[in-house]
Structure 1
Amino acid sequence: MARIKLRGMTWGHRRAIDPLLATKALFEQQHPEIEIEWASRPLSGFEFTPVPDLAKEYDLIVLDHPFCGEIVATGCLLPVDDIIAAAGGDRYVGPSLASYTYAGACWSVPIDAAAQVAVSRPDLLQALDAMPPIDWRELIALGEKASRKGLQLATGLKGVHSLMTFFTLCANLGQPCSTDPERPLVDRDTARQVLDHIRALLAYCPKEALDWNSIALHDVMVARDDLVTCPAVYCYATYAESDQRKPLRFHDLPGPNGPGGSTIGGTGLGLSAYRGSDEATQAYARFAASPEVQRLFAAHHGQPARLEAWTDPAIDTRFGRCYAETRKTMDGCWIRPRFPGYLRFQAEGGDLIEQHLRGQMDEATLLDRLQRAFEASGKR
């Protein structure tokens, strides 16, 4: 009998691809009739490539939850509610499962959990005789102390990452951005306060911060010896592993109001409805959803979504206690909009905020253009 060949797509980082490749042989051993081939794309492709396009070429798609509106509108993926139920229901950290539940069904199996949290270089904090900041006031005070020693704070605000930080701080201040394009995007006073906070942070960061996405931010904090802490970046726990030049440490979001309101990220596993391999893809989804395989993901640089892995002491130790130290943030996350057309706003909104932070657009113009772009995204 000919083997069923499944094609899968993820994004190009060891956190994403290594666990899938490492567990491939185990799945194929358990299912000798199925073979999987994994491919990867850059982070920018993960953030914006339409899932309906991917579903025409790939059976298994690792994706972000804001695509749910397009998924429902096009019918490009299979619902996975039965798979989630068989795996024990909502045994996931924070609103990981809720983020993929839209229009009455769940559209992806959570396999990776992340949110914007703080990350630091423990050696540089020690050199400053400082602790990780617990709120924005302490963050700015640390920036002042670091600058006197020739050190800096860090952030990654390239394009969409500017918007994610904006989202996080709005939610942290108790005024989250709208998820409905027929309502105003954001309270203007809150938006101005958030932009003040971001500009205050940037005053203590290198100018290159506006060129960094989340991966680049982690890379430079490991490579350079002048970046003390970043308050809000999508966590890549693998940078806390012992094989890093200078292992990083992760902490709860030091928002103006503490750890609440961070913008959830992570990934889910979607199953193409276009490719005709339903039984095989569902078998793989059940495999990836199991607590045992989620633990194996962590053994190969992955960042699991299941609570059994997040609360496993050995896994937490491997990642420098990342999971214990960021759990409050994960549990208090905010979910981005998911309506069809939102991804257009995510791209445009991030570019607009970046332009403002570069001094290319005044604040009033930024807020007007953000609102117009948000309204327009719901009409496309």
Structure 2
Amino acid sequence: MMSETIELKGMTWSDPRGCDPVVAAAEAFAKTRPGVSIIWDKRSLQGFETTPVDELAARYDLMVIDHPHVGSVADRGCLLPFETHASDDELAELANQSVGRSFQSYFLHGRQWALPIDAATQVQAHRADLSPRVDRWTHVIRKAEDGFVIWPLRSPHVLMSFYTLAGNLGRPCATSFGNLIDTDSGLQVLDALRAVSRHMDEAFYTMDPIAALDELADSGRYHLAPLIYLYKGYANEGYRANRLHFTDMPVLGRNGPLGSALGGTGIAVSAKTAHPQLCTEFAIWLAGAECQCGLYARSNGQPGNALAWSSAAVNSPVLEAYYNTRLTHETAWLRPRHDGYMQFQEEGSEIVAHALRGRLDPGAAISRLNERFRASFKDRSAR
């Protein structure tokens, strides 16, 4: 009697970092499960950051998602909590192997909605062949004055930079109902951002990290991207014309490289899948140390597992990017995840961008950020 044929569908994002490792993992997993296949579709980085998860869950068994989406779906029954089919020991092991708050970022309302497979936060990228890394934000300003700084300021990355510097000052933005940030701290952050952005090309407001890193690696015009999400591929030999070095973020405050706005991705399972146990087994294996330290890292992946980050074999091909950004990642700040946050993220990005471009008074920008943040809590904004 022939075994059952099962085809699972997955959705990831189109960069090699997002696509190649899950495709390779799916092929390896299928070899251990006769009759099982996992077919992956992919969407752009912008689509990854904005597409509602509930739309994906209606069409796919497995999804690579961004943690800020969790709040909008946690109570809607579209994702399968991992506690349903994973053991407590399996989840505890992955929690202990988390890079910073990556595992926690997918835990909300007492349930684990995704497992981290890729860890990232805003760090520093630079061309070591052109100039050394910088340590402080004052050095970034000097580099910007000389025209050597490139900085992706497209939504949501302009808001992420605001978050990062607020956290680095020791005045992290709020994650619960109330004002996003006090006026004095908000103005200090905007002043620091504007000290750099006033020297920036307008084109940077249309750039995401991939576009900025492409330009940094392929031209000799820019030396430094001061706040940009880790993309380990640009440190690999032969990925672009020149290799990039990734190191801890330049600091504005006195607390070291802490407060960076956490990014990364997680693997989630649709509540509508006909094969929840099988999907859970794949996700647990994908996020685990065995896969992450080996196949995942070798297949263009940027691991989310701390054992991979501690591996010399994983660090060597990427100019020790994981070693050199570990402190920034371990002390990264976890942004809001409530239902209603995603709309604020878009609105907040526009407000900060207008302030940096001189189209909105800084004081008015902080007031508007606070107003829109309070309003994003749909069940409390009228109080």
Q: By the TM > 0.5 criterion, same fold?
A: yes
Q: Which of the residues 195, 207, 225 maps onto 2:220?
A: 225
Cα distance in 2 for residues equivalent to 1:84 and 1:361:
50
Contact 2:12–2:18 (CA<8 Å) still a contact in 1?
yes
How far 1:96 sits from its partner (Å)? 0.7
Structure 1 pair 203/124, CA: closer, same or farther in 2 (3 Å)? Answer: farther
Task: Tell me if 1:183 matches 2:165.
Answer: no
Cα distance in 2 for residues equivalent to 1:152 and 1:254:
15
Say what the alpha-carbon RMSD is for the aligned residues.
1.5
Q: Which of the residues 28, 43, 46 maps onto 2:45?
A: 43
- 1:315-361, Cα deviation, whole Å (9 max, x unpaired): 10111110000001001110010111100101111122112222222
- 1:254-273, Cα deviation, whole Å (9 max, x unpaired): 12123110011000000000
Contact 2:20–2:301 (CA<8 Å) still a contact in 1?
yes
Alignment of 1:190-269 (within 5 A): 190-243=185-238, 244-257=240-253, 258-269=256-267
- 1:146-199, Cα deviation, whole Å (9 max, x unpaired): x2xxx511111112111000011111111111111x311101111111111111
How far 1:245 sits from its partner (Å)? 0.8
Cα distance in 2 for residues equivalent to 1:93 and 1:274:
30
Residue type of the alignment partner of 2:116: P
Aligned twin of 1:162:
158
**What fraction of aligned residue pairs are identical, expressed as a percent?**
37
Contact 2:340–2:376 (CA<8 Å) still a contact in 1?
yes
Structure 1 pair 303/84, CA: closer, same or farther in 2 (3 Å)? Answer: farther
Cα distance in 1 for residues equivalent to 2:227 and 2:8:
36
How far 1:121 sits from its partner (Å)? 0.7
Cα distance in 2 for residues equivalent to 1:289 and 1:329:
21
Residue type of the alignment partner of 2:32: Q
**2:267 alignment partner, SS class:** strand
Cα distance in 2 for residues equivalent to 1:227 and 1:208:
14
- 1:10-34, Cα deviation, whole Å (9 max, x unpaired): 1110010011122222111011232
Residue type of the alignment partner of 1:113: A
Alignment of 1:1-380 (within 5 A): 1-81=3-83, 82=86, 85-86=89-90, 88-90=93-95, 91-125=97-131, 131-144=132-145, 147=146, 151-180=147-176, 182-243=177-238, 244-257=240-253, 258-295=256-293, 296-379=295-378
Moved more, 108-117 or 290-299: 290-299
Residue type of the alignment partner of 1:121: R
- TM norm structure 2: 0.93
Cα distance in 1 for residues equivalent to 2:236 and 2:88:
30
Cα distance in 2 for residues equivalent to 1:313 and 1:83:
30
Contact 2:94–2:103 (CA<8 Å) still a contact in 1?
no
Cα distance in 1 for residues equivalent to 2:182 and 2:316:
41
Contact 2:27–2:38 (CA<8 Å) still a contact in 1?
no
Gaps of 5+ in 2: none
Moved more, 355-364 or 185-194: 355-364
Contact 1:116–1:232 (CA<8 Å) still a contact in 2?
yes
Cα distance in 2 for residues equivalent to 1:23 and 1:280:
14
How far 1:224 sits from its partner (Å)? 1.5
Gaps of 5+ in 1: 126-130
Number of residues of Structure 1 aligned to a counterpart in Structure 2: 369
**2:280 alignment partner, SS class:** helix
